[in-house]
Structure 1
Amino acid sequence: MTIAGLDVGGTKIAGVALADRGDGGPAGGSAVGGAARWSLDDVLARTHRAHRIHGPESLLDALEEAVRELDAQLAEAGHEPIRAVGLAIAAWLTRDREVVTWAAHLAVRDFALRAALADRLGMPVTIDNDANGYLVGEAAMGAAADASSSILIALGTGVGGAYVADGRPLLGSHGLGGELGHVTVDEQGPVCSCTARGCVEAYAGGNALARDAAGVPAAVALAPDGRPTAVHLEQAARAGDAEAIALLDRAAWAVAAGLRRLLPAFDPEVVVLGGRVMLECADLLLPVIERELGAHAPLQGVPQPRRLELAQLGGHAAAIGAAVLAAR
C-alpha cells in the first residue's frame, strides 16, 4: 500500500508518498533487532509548494491538490496509487485528532478536519500536529531512528516540541502534550506568544529573534526595508557584530535551560534539534547549548547530554512522520 504524508505550515505544503512495507516492527519506530522499518528508499514521491490557505474550504482544496500531485508522480513511475493519508498540521487539535481547534496561520477554527478530508478524498485519514509529525519522521528514518525515546526542540517561527517513545507521540490530556517551546526558563523574561513570560520560544523562536534584531543596528542595516528578521540577525552575527552574537548566545542559553528541565522529566535517548533557525545557525547555537548543558548537567552522574542530534530529513520530515503515523 502507498500512503501519502502531508505537512501543512503557515505558508507551504510538503508531501511525500511512502511505501508501507507491512513487515512488522513497532509502528513508526525500529523493527526487532534494531533495523529501521522504513528508510529513505521507501519515499516514492515528493512535493513542496507554497499555499495561500485561508479557511476550511481552501485548506481541503490545497490538501486534495497535493494528494493528486503525488498520485500523478506515482502513476508516472509505475507505483500503486495512494490508499491512505496522514496529515501533520500547524494547529491545535482535540485529543482524538478529529478537530482543528485553532490554526492561526490558516484561519481555521473548530473544524472537523479529519472527517471532512476523508470524505473529500474517499480514503482513511490520520491527523496530528506538525511537531509530532516532525519527530515521528526523525524517529522512523532520521536522527532518532536508533532510539526508543526522543524529544524534539524545533526553532522556527516559534519553538515546536514533541516527545516520542516507541514510535508514539505524547498527546496529553488536552491533546497539547509536547509543547516544549513553552517551558519557562525565566519568569521575568520576555512575553511569549502564549502570553506567559520567559518561555524558550520567547528567546529562541524566529519571531522573538526578529523582535530582538530590531534593536541591533547592524541587523537593521542589513534589512532592505529596515525591518530585520532572524536571518539578518544571523548575518550580523556572522559578520562579527557583538550585539547579534550575544542575542544568539542568549537564544542558545534558553534552549539549554529548557533542556535542563526536560531531560530529568523525559529521560530521552536522543534530543533532536531542528527547525529552520536551528539548522541554519547550528554552528553558532550548538556549541553554546553543549557548553551550557555540560556546565549545568541535571541528574549528576548521568551522561549529559544523552545525545544531541541535528534533524536529518529537511523540509519533508513532518510529511514523512505523518505518513508513518497513518501506516498504523
Structure 2
Amino acid sequence: MVMIHPGLRPYIEPYRVLGCMRMWQPHDDSCRCTSTLGRHRMNVLAVDVGGTKTLLGIVTPAGDIVSQSEHPTRIGIDDIERVSALTVEELASATEPVGAVCVGFPEYVSAEGLLTSREVLTWAEQPARVIHRAIAARGLEQLPVRIDSDVRLGALGEATFGVGVDRSSFIYVSLGTGLSSAFVVSGAPWRGSRGEAIALGEWPGPEGTTLERYASGTAITQRYEHLTGVARTARDIVTASATDPVARGILETAGSALGRACADIVSLIDPAVVIIGGGLGSAPTLLSEAAHRAYISATARRDDSPPWVVAGNGARSGLLGAAAAALPLCC
C-alpha cells in the first residue's frame, strides 16, 4: 500500500491537471507508467521561479531533494523559454524516472493553471504550452505539467513537508524579493475565486505606499538607496545593519509594518498559526525580529493568539511545495 502524506490528501482525487494540455486522471488507462511501482512512487521535477532566482530540483515522494540547481531569474524580458529549457535539461539529465513536473511563478495563476498577470515576469505564451513543446522537441516522453503561484506552492510545501503539517489552518507569508501570502485550510491552499488570494503585498503600507513597496527585499534596497544614494543588495543591507543606523532603521520599520499586517490577517481569518517564510522572512535578521515583536504587540490583547513560526523549509518551501503538487499527478 502506498502511504499518502496528510498534506497531499486534498489533491488525491480525479481532476483536470492544472496547466496540462490534456485531461488526465491519476489512474487513467492512457497513462503509460515507466516504473513497475507506478508513477506515484516516482520522483518529480519541481521548479520555483522567484523574483531573483529560479530553483529546480528532483524530489522524491518523501520530500528529499535528490539534486538542485539555481539560476538567476531574468526580469524585463520573456524568460519562459529559458525556464522551459532548464526544465527539459533537468528531465533529460535525471538518473531515475520522473513522473510529473510542477512550476511555480511569482504571478497570479488561475485554477486552470494559467498566468493571469505580469506583475513580475514578462511573458507572451502560457508556460505549460511552452514546456510541453520543449519536451517534444527534445524527444522526451510527455509528462503531466502543473503551473501554480509560487506562494501557494510555498504554503503547500510547509503543509506537506514543514511546520504546517497537521495544522488545521495557517497563513503563510513569503518575504523575499517580493511579498505575498497564502491561507491554508486542512492542508490545502485556498486560492480564491480568481486565484488571487495571495496579495498581501498590495495591502496599504506606511508613507502612502503598499506593504510590498515598503517591506519587501526590493523595497528595502530602494529605500536605502533613496536615503543614502548608495545602491546595496538586501543581503548587504542586512549585514550592514549591525553598524549602519540607516540600514537598521529600514529593517526595523519594514518588520514592524509586516508584523502589524500579519496581526490584521489574524483578526480577519483567525488561522491556527502564522508561518513566516521566504528567503528574507525565514532568515534571523533585524527585520524578522521586528516583525515578530510587532505581531506580538498587536495581538497581545488575547492570550491565545496564533503562534508565530518560522517556515521549516526556509527558502526551499516553494520548491518542496511544487514537488508536493506534482506527486499526485503521478499515476
Give TM-score scaled by structure 2 length: 0.75
- Contact in 1 for aligned 2:174/2:278 (Cα 8 Å): yes
Partner of 1:49: 71
- Tell me how far apart the structure 1 counterparts of residues 191 and 204 of structure 2 sit (CA, whole Å): 20
Report the alpha carbon displacement of residue 303 of structure 1 after superposing the two structures with TM: 1.6
- Are 1:234 and 2:258 matched, yes or no? no
Report the alpha carbon displacement of residue 65 of structure 1 after superposing the two structures with TM: 1.8
- Tell me how far apart the structure 2 counterparts of residues 211 and 19 of structure 1 sit (CA, whole Å): 39
- Contact in 2 for aligned 1:216/1:244 (Cα 8 Å): no
Letter in 1 for 2:294: E
Partner of 1:243: 246
Q: Please show how residues 171-320 of structure 1 align to structure 2 within 5 Å.
A: 171-186=191-206, 189-191=207-209, 199-217=210-228, 226-239=230-243, 241-280=244-283, 282-297=284-299, 300-304=301-305, 306-320=306-320
Letter in 1 for 2:313: L
- Contact in 1 for aligned 2:153/2:322 (Cα 8 Å): yes
Once the two structures are superposed, residues 7-46 of structure 1 have per-residue CA deviations (whole angstroms, 9 ceiling, x without a partner) of: 12244331222333xxxxxxxxxxxxxxxxx4x4x43333
Secondary structure at the aligned position of 2:281 is classed as: helix
Once the two structures are superposed, residues 224-264 of structure 1 have per-residue CA deviations (whole angstroms, 9 ceiling, x without a partner) of: xx32333343233211x333322211111111111121012
Partner of 1:92: 108
- Contact in 1 for aligned 2:81/2:130 (Cα 8 Å): no
- Tell me how far apart the structure 1 counterparts of residues 58 and 82 of structure 2 sit (CA, whole Å): 22
Once the two structures are superposed, residues 190-219 of structure 1 have per-residue CA deviations (whole angstroms, 9 ceiling, x without a partner) of: 43xxxxxxx3212211121112212444xx
- Tell me how far apart the structure 1 counterparts of residues 248 and 285 of structure 2 sit (CA, whole Å): 12
Aligned-pair Cα RMSD in Å = 2.5
1:63–1:296 CA distance, 2 compared to 1 (3 A): same
Report the alpha carbon displacement of residue 58 of structure 1 after superposing the two structures with TM: 3.1
Report the alpha carbon displacement of residue 323 of structure 1 after superposing the two structures with TM: 1.4
1:45–1:56 CA distance, 2 compared to 1 (3 A): closer
Partner of 1:223: none
Partner of 2:321: 321
- Tell me how far apart the structure 2 counterparts of residues 309 and 326 of structure 1 sit (CA, whole Å): 26
Secondary structure at the aligned position of 1:164 is classed as: strand
- Tell me how far apart the structure 2 counterparts of residues 314 and 297 of structure 1 sit (CA, whole Å): 24
Report the alpha carbon displacement of residue 106 of structure 1 after superposing the two structures with TM: 4.0
Report the alpha carbon displacement of residue 85 of structure 1 after superposing the two structures with TM: 0.9
Report the alpha carbon displacement of residue 172 of structure 1 after superposing the two structures with TM: 1.4
Partner of 1:67: 91
1:10–1:255 CA distance, 2 compared to 1 (3 A): closer
- Contact in 2 for aligned 1:171/1:177 (Cα 8 Å): yes
- Tell me how far apart the structure 2 counterparts of residues 43 and 206 of structure 1 sit (CA, whole Å): 26
Give TM-score scaled by structure 1 length: 0.76
Q: Please show how residues 73-112 of structure 1 align to structure 2 within 5 Å.
A: 75=95, 79=96, 81-97=97-113, 99-103=114-118, 105-109=120-124, 111-112=125-126
- Among all aligned residue pairs of Structure 1 and Structure 2, give the percentage whose two residues are the same amino acid: 25
Report the alpha carbon displacement of residue 82 of structure 1 after superposing the two structures with TM: 0.4
- Tell me how far apart the structure 2 counterparts of residues 56 and 211 of structure 1 sit (CA, whole Å): 27
Question: Which stretch of structure 1 is more off in the superposition, 257-266 or 311-320?
Answer: 311-320
- Contact in 2 for aligned 1:15/1:319 (Cα 8 Å): yes
Count of residue correspondences: 279
- Contact in 2 for aligned 1:150/1:269 (Cα 8 Å): yes
Gaps of 5+ in 2: 1-41, 136-141
- Contact in 2 for aligned 1:273/1:310 (Cα 8 Å): yes
Partner of 2:9: none
